Every structure is written in structure tokens, then in C-alpha cells.
A and B are shown apart, each in its own frame.
Chain A
Amino acid sequence: MKLLEGKIAFVTGASRGIGREIAAVFARHGAQVVAHGRDEAALASLCDELEAETGRRPEVLVYDVRQTEEIKRAFQHIHARYRGLDILVNNAGIQRDALLGFVQPPLVEETMQVNLHAPIYHMQLAARLMARRGGGSIINIGSIFGTEGEAGQVVYAASKAALAGATKSAAKELAPSNIRVNAIAPGFIATEMTARLTEEQVAGRLANIRMGRAGTPADVAGVALFLASPLSSYVTGQVIGVDGGMRL
């Protein structure tokens, strides 16, 4: 029996990086994945790959998470198609570097819309579909910057710290409905987002990681699988660091 057999899992930001790997791992463990993203070609490629591997094609939803009407439509579609939802991964996010002196309102607004507002609205609607199934698991992808802070990341760190607070609060509200809400706080994970760093910046990051290597999307997806599955049936309200012992 696969860990997520028969489960419906909705993953936002699944076009690439951590979200893509989580969608892939969930599909390999038996879930029917609904993969959200903005890059249709990348999502189609993911679906082709997973269909060939698992015999089950993920469904793709393309929309802008800043648009609440589009979020609503996505959940109405999931309701119509699957009659419920078991797992939500709020992974879609943006990270724009800006030192405090250079922070401008559009940066704050867009970051908060994508990294905080959208996950809240997704949780709100997911909880309603999960309650019908007698429970579920919500996983928010945060960041070590949200717990530790980092120079040049005032806005991004604030959005992820707020998401951690939302996670813990939602966990308390939803526990009686058997809906678990947890967050993962990745450290330095090698993705396309980090590929733009200079060698010097990478060396600086690695020096702060006790395990001596960057994490991989698979490192994060493994913890997401744990949180999505019955293996974590008594775990809620937690922010789990996946950072190889990183200290900032």
C-alpha cells in the first residue's frame, strides 16, 4: 500500500523546484495530484513524466494566486471533479532581495499577496473540502529566513514569519476537524532560484550549514510526504526546519 493511495493532493507552485519535486513524490506514492503553476509548458512536462511513471496523469491548474477569484474557481473545480481534498501544499512563493532602505510598497504588497494572502485563502477553502472527508493535511512552505531573519530579506522573511503564525493558528482552529496544519522551513536548497547566486555567495551559505552541503528539493519533499501521510497523524502546528543544521 502506497502512503498516499487514493488521496487528492493540491500543490501550488509545482512548475519547478521544491513544488515540482513534492508533486512528483506525492504522485509516486499514489496520490492524484492537482498541480498549480504559471508555466504551462513546465507543468505539461511534469505531467508527461509522471503519467509515464505512474500511469496516472496529474491535473494542471494555471492561475495567478494573487487573484482571489481565481483561487475560488480552482477550489470549485476541485470540488466538482473530486468532491473533496485530502492534502494542500502551499508552495507558490516569490523571493525578491531588497535591503531595508530599498524596500518599496509594490515589493511589500506583491510579496505579501503571494507568500501570505494566497496561502491563507487556499487554507480557508481547502479546509472546507477537507472537513467533508473527515480530515486532511495542509503543508505551508516557509523559510529559515522566516524564523532566523536575513539581511536583504526583510520583506520575504516577514512574509514567511507571518505564514508560520498563520500555520500555528490554523492548526489550533482545525485540529477538532482532524485537519493538520504544518509548515516546512527549508534552509539553503539548490533550485533554479539559488542558481543565480555567485560562487562566493554559495560558499558563504555552505559555511553556515553543519552538514556541509546544500539541500535538495527531494530533501524537502521527503518531509512533505511525511506530513501529508498517516505517518504524521499526531503532528500539527509545527514548523519543521529542513536545513542541514544551518545557522544564520
Chain B
Amino acid sequence: MNAQTANEQKLRAIFASSLDIPEDQVQDSLAYNSIEQWDSIAHMALVAAIDEGFGIMRDTDDVIALSSFGKAKEILKKYGVEFR
């Protein structure tokens, strides 16, 4: 498995765990407030888990911009995390 695929799987697992949903429900289109589980409280846990999982601390602007799984990948690329 290459690094890009591993990072995507890792991010998907973090989303699934933080939002308490199955991994196959985590698609690029999965958006904040689009499902009951991704509310403001889960969002905070998700932000913390992503930063912890990838060993980074994002700027507040990037935390606010975290609006979907697809957007999360886009933001993480700025911090050197590669995706397909």
C-alpha cells in the first residue's frame, strides 16, 4: 500500500471513529451537519483526532474550513499529508 492510500484509509478510519459511523459511509461528499452524528460536538472531537492522528496542529482558518471529508484531504495536503 502506498503512502497516499494509507493516509486516506487512516483519515477515513478517524472520521468513522470520531463520528461513530461505518467506514463505507465516509465519502468525499460527507459534510458537516449532513448527518446527525456530525454535529458541533463531534466536530471538535474530529478536529482533535485528525490533528493527533497526523501529528499536526492546524491553523484556526483550516479548522473552520473543515466542512467535508473531501475538504479535509485538501486541507491536510497543505500540511504535507499526501492523498491520491
Binding site for B on A (CB under 8 A): 72, 75-76, 79-80, 124-125, 127-129, 131-132, 173-174, 176-177
Contacts and interface: CB of A to CB of B under 8 A. Distances in A.
Contacts of B76: none
Contacts of B49: 132
Nearest to A179: B44
Given A132-B51, A132-B52, A124 B60 contact: yes
Contacts of A76: 57
A75 B45 CA distance: 18
Interface string B16-52: 0000000000000000000000001100110111011
Given A128-B51, A128-B63, A132-B51, A177 B44 contact: yes
A236 to B, nearest CB: 15
A128 B59 contact: no
Contacts of B48: 128-129, 131-132, 177
Contacts of B63: 128
29 contacts: A72-B59, A72-B60, A76-B57, A79-B51, A79-B57, A80-B57, A124-B60, A125-B60, A128-B44, A128-B47, A128-B51, A128-B57, A128-B63, A129-B48, A129-B57, A131-B44, A131-B45, A131-B47, A131-B48, A132-B48, A132-B49, A132-B51, A173-B40, A174-B44, A176-B41, A177-B41, A177-B44, A177-B45, A177-B48
A174 B51 CA distance: 18
Q: Which bucket holds chain B's interface residue count? A: 10 to 19
A177 B40 CA distance: 11
A180 B26 CA distance: 31
Contacts of A132: 48-49, 51-52
A125 to B, nearest CB: 8
Considering the complex of A and B, which 3 residue pairs feature the smallest CB-CB distances, nearest first? Answer: A131-B48, A79-B57, A132-B52
Contacts of B57: 75-76, 79-80, 128-129
A128 B49 CA distance: 9
B50 to A, nearest CB: 10
Given A132-B51, A132-B52, A127 B59 contact: no
A85 to B, nearest CB: 11
A196 to B, nearest CB: 38
A176 B45 CA distance: 10
